Amino acid sequence: MLNNYKRLLSVLLISAMFMGCASLSAQTDRDDYRQQAIEILESVPLFDGHNDVPWQYRNRVGYKFSELDFYDTTHLDPPMHTDIPRLREGRVGAQWWSVYVSANISEPEAVKQTMEQIDFVHRLVERYPDHFELALTADDVERVFADGKIASLIGMEGGHSINNSLAVLRMFYELGARYMTITHGRTLDWADAAGDDPQHDGLTEFGEEVIREMNRLGMLVDLSHVTPATMRDAIRVSEAPVMFSHSNALALSGHPRNVPDDVLELTAENGGIVMVTFVETFTSEERRQHFAERAAYQRKMEYLNPGIPDVVRDKMRAWDEENEAPKSTLEQVADHIDHIRDLIGAEYIGIGGDYDGISTLPLGLEDVSTYPDLFAELLRRGYTEDEIRKIAGLNMLRVMRGAEEVSDRLRSVREPSEILITDFE
Ligand SMILES: [Zn+2]
């Protein structure tokens, strides 16, 4: 009996040692592929779908470059994830800069604040002309990348920014916006958001008209943040390829704004792209569950202790001490890429880190300098160089070109939409 027990103990010990070695050797193996990854990223633009630097500049310094130089944002408290040297180290070749404003402000105010965000991107490329240039088309992206600069594109995060007006949508296109996320966290008059109560079972009739007008303009339809019903409606209506600028697979993490398998299949039929994101609760199911349990406990404490926030705060502090949040990892992000590739192929995958839009990141992907490590991990897992090139940038370029061709065709046969839901007095 004792002998059996000893044998079991030594088996457990040896396997524990092996597991430690396995994760260490995964890291070493990955390092072997890093140089290969860098060489690939120097041949195609690494195209990231979502970065919130404009929002950081708004909140930290009121958009003043004189107070915050984009050459170094590491000394800040807390540090930013993005600056010029680290973008270069990460081999970023094309960046969708998110021009995000809160969905909880009034929509006329959102129009103004979105213009301030867009103005920031224009000022960014003017201030650092050796590193950035505005890109409005796929051809622009390739030309700017060939010049050794980072192609800078503008993506609007949320249909609240157009205040129910296709005229405002058209003017944002004129200002350079080339994608619009249909909603952020709030359900609109015309589209359901994943972070809110659904009201329309997807898109309303006006919501479908927004998609058609975006197709005609050549502005990409971004389906991150919306409900699966809105995703399905938008893909059914859209004649152009759609995108998810920062989303993961629902099969691996049950966050309501991740993409279900049937929508992944629809996205492949549509010729679109899912840009896999580094948001921790979208990446790790364990971490998502941890925060869901925490929120439930907090609701319970608030119910049991009405009007005594100090007690609730103490209870939550004790809960946090007892329940450490599990971290997500670079490997788990690669697992999402594996899942999508297994289901629909590498042709429909991109990367949308959401750097500077979130406060914590997976282990191994701490800032924009780490992209080559993710591609090294994919090489280690047996992805071909051809697949890496597609995931890094060629897929996004194909989606942009697809939308540009649809726009060229529609502009020759269709007038600008005259449908409005704005009330005129
Ligand atoms: Zn977002």
pLDDT value of position 4: 55
pLDDT value of position 323: 96
Catalytic residue IDs: 50, 52, 157, 184, 225, 246, 354
Could you write out the DSSP letters of every residue in 10-76?
HHHHHHHHHHHHHHHHHHHHHHHHHHHHHHHHTTS-EEEEEE-HHHHHHHHHTT-TTTS-TT--SSS
For ligand 1, the distance from its centroid to the CA atom of residue 246, given in whole angstroms, is 7
The arithmetic mean of pLDDT across residues 231-240, rounded, is: 98
- Class assignment of domain 43-280+329-413? alpha beta
For ligand 1, the distance from its centroid to the CA atom of residue 381, given in whole angstroms, is 29
The arithmetic mean of pLDDT across residues 24-33, rounded, is: 80
What percent of the chain shows pLDDT beyond 90?
91
pLDDT in tens, 142-180: 999 999 999 999 999 999 999 999 999 999 999 999 999
pLDDT value of position 315: 96
For ligand 1, the distance from its centroid to the CA atom of residue 312, given in whole angstroms, is 29
pLDDT value of position 1: 46
pLDDT value of position 418: 86
Q: Which residues contact 219 (CB under 8 A, 6 or more apart)?
A: 169, 172, 173, 177, 178, 179, 180, 403
pLDDT value of position 419: 84
Q: Band of the pLDDT at 420, cuts 50, 70, 90? A: confident
For ligand 1, the distance from its centroid to the CA atom of residue 129, given in whole angstroms, is 27
Q: Band of the pLDDT at 410, cuts 50, 70, 90? A: very high
What percent of the chain shows pLDDT beyond 70?
93
For ligand 1, the distance from its centroid to the CA atom of residue 184, given in whole angstroms, is 7
pLDDT value of position 2: 47
pLDDT in tens, 41-77: 999 999 999 999 999 999 999 999 999 999 999 999 9
For ligand 1, the distance from its centroid to the CA atom of residue 225, given in whole angstroms, is 7
For ligand 1, the distance from its centroid to the CA atom of residue 237, given in whole angstroms, is 23
Whole-prediction pTM value?
Answer: 0.92
Tokens of 375: 């591609």
- Answer with the residue of higher pLDDT: 10 or 116: 116
The full set of domain ranges for the chain reads 43-280+329-413, 285-326
For ligand 1, the distance from its centroid to the CA atom of residue 114, given in whole angstroms, is 15
Distance CA 194, CA 204 (A): 16
The arithmetic mean of pLDDT across residues 321-326, rounded, is: 96
The arithmetic mean of pLDDT across residues 256-260, rounded, is: 97
pLDDT in tens, 100-142: 999 999 999 999 999 999 999 999 999 999 999 999 999 999 9
The DSSP 8-state label assigned to residue 241 in this structure reads P
For ligand 1, the distance from its centroid to the CA atom of residue 104, given in whole angstroms, is 14
Buried b (16+ CB within 10 A) or exposed e, 192-222: bbbbbebebebbbebbbbbbbbbbbbbbbbb
pLDDT value of position 29: 85
pLDDT value of position 421: 72
Average pLDDT of the chain to the nearest whole number = 94
pLDDT value of position 27: 75
Is pLDDT above 90 for 378?
yes
